[in-house]
């Protein structure tokens, strides 16, 4: 693991790192924020998954989560959204290829050689973070848009790895959305039976979630039809999953929205990770 930068931030450290990923077969960059409490021992850890076109840097610089993490004593991990490099397959469209890994393990060419984002997050990067940073075995996960989809699906598929869950404007029902069907077909193939494990609405009905869920959605989000929060809300009620799902008047899909409700999400995770 190479240190790209380490910067003092709210008496903690905001770091950016690079390592050679055997899972993605390329170099991967990620960021970790350590609060002041990490100097004295391991702290709980929140994973933040970003959305389409983003890297590790977007939420790190725009979401303003470090101040809340420092106050609460939480570490934050900001992974990248896809493999990178000249040898990694890409597409001219912004919503497929680099920056659009959708947090799945691709099975189809040309994506299968590198696009293994599910295994990268829950296995390789998780192992690296626990080995190299003072984090306790208490992990929460959240994310925005595509990253909200990733947070919900990874938590439900790997419940033993996460103790708390939330999402900002998640892609809630990708098997029924243009933000989902295109990518799932490209990465997993046209057999739609393989897609259900990567759809939060479907997963609630098949695997469920062991705890409660916080979801915030901007009511003025221009991508509402693609995100389909109604499907997620319906599944939460149908499965009687304890949850708080809020439609926030006047808010859009931007990081202004994420930063406005970041404190609520950080407090949500801290309450559960320190329990």
Please confirm, yes or no, whether 105 is among the known catalytic residues. Answer: no
DSSP state of 38: G
DSSP H or E stretch at residue 118? helix 117-119
Cα dihedral 13, 72, 65, 166, rounded to 10, equals 130
Quote the strand ranges of 129-253, DSSP E.
Answer: 135-143, 164-168, 213-218, 243-248
Q: What gap in Å lies between CA 204 and CA 167, rounded to an integer?
A: 14
Catalytic-labelled residue, pool 149, 253, 265, 269: 253
Find residue 214's DSSP bridge partners: 166, 244
3-state secondary structure 69-106: HHHHCCEEEECCCCCCCCCCCCCCCCCCECCECCCCEC
Catalytic-labelled residue, pool 145, 166, 172, 177: 145
Residue 4, token pair as written in the block: 């790209």
Please confirm, yes or no, whether 253 is among the known catalytic residues. Answer: yes
Catalytic-labelled residue, pool 221, 243, 265, 269: 221
Q: What gap in Å lies between CA 161 and CA 239, rounded to an integer?
A: 22
Nearest to 271 by CA among 114, 68, 59, 28: 68
Question: 47 in helix, strand or coil?
Answer: strand
Q: What gap in Å lies between CA 275 and CA 238, rounded to an integer?
A: 28
Please confirm, yes or no, whether 145 is among the known catalytic residues. Answer: yes
Catalytic residue positions, numbered: 145, 221, 253
């Amino acid at each position: 693991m190479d240190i790209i930068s380490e910067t003092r931030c709210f008496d903690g450290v905001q770091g950016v790192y690079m390592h050679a990923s055997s899972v993605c077969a390329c170099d991967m960059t990620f960021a970790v924020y350590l609060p002041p409490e990490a100097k004295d021992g391991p702290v709980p850890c929140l994973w933040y998954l970003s959305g389409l076109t983003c890297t590790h840097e977007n939420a790190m610089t725009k979401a303003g989560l470090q101040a809340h993490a420092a106050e609460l004593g939480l570490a934050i991990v900001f992974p990248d959204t896809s493999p990178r490099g000249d040898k990694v397959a890409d597409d001219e469209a912004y919503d497929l290829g680099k920056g659009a890994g959708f947090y799945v393990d691709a099975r189809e060419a040309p994506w299968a050689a590198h696009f293994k984002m599910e295994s990268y997050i829950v296995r390789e990067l998780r192992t690296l973070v626990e080995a190299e940073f003072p984090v306790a075995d208490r992990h929460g996960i959240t994310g925005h848009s595509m990253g909200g989809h990733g947070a919900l699906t990874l938590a439900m598929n790997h419940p033993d790895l996460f103790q708390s869950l939330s999402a900002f404007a998640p892609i809630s029902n990708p098997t029924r959305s243009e933000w989902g069907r295109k990518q799932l077909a490209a990465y997993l193939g046209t057999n739609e039976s393989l897609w259900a494990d990567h759809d939060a609405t479907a997963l609630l009905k098949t695997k469920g979630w062991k705890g409660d869920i916080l979801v915030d959605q901007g009511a003025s989000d221009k991508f509402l039809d693609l995100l389909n929060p109604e499907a997620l809300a319906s599944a939460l009620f149908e499965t009687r999953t304890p949850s708080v799902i809020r439609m926030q008047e006047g808010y859009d899909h931007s990081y202004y929205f994420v930063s406005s409700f970041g404190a609520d999400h950080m407090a949500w995770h801290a309450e559960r990770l320190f329990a």
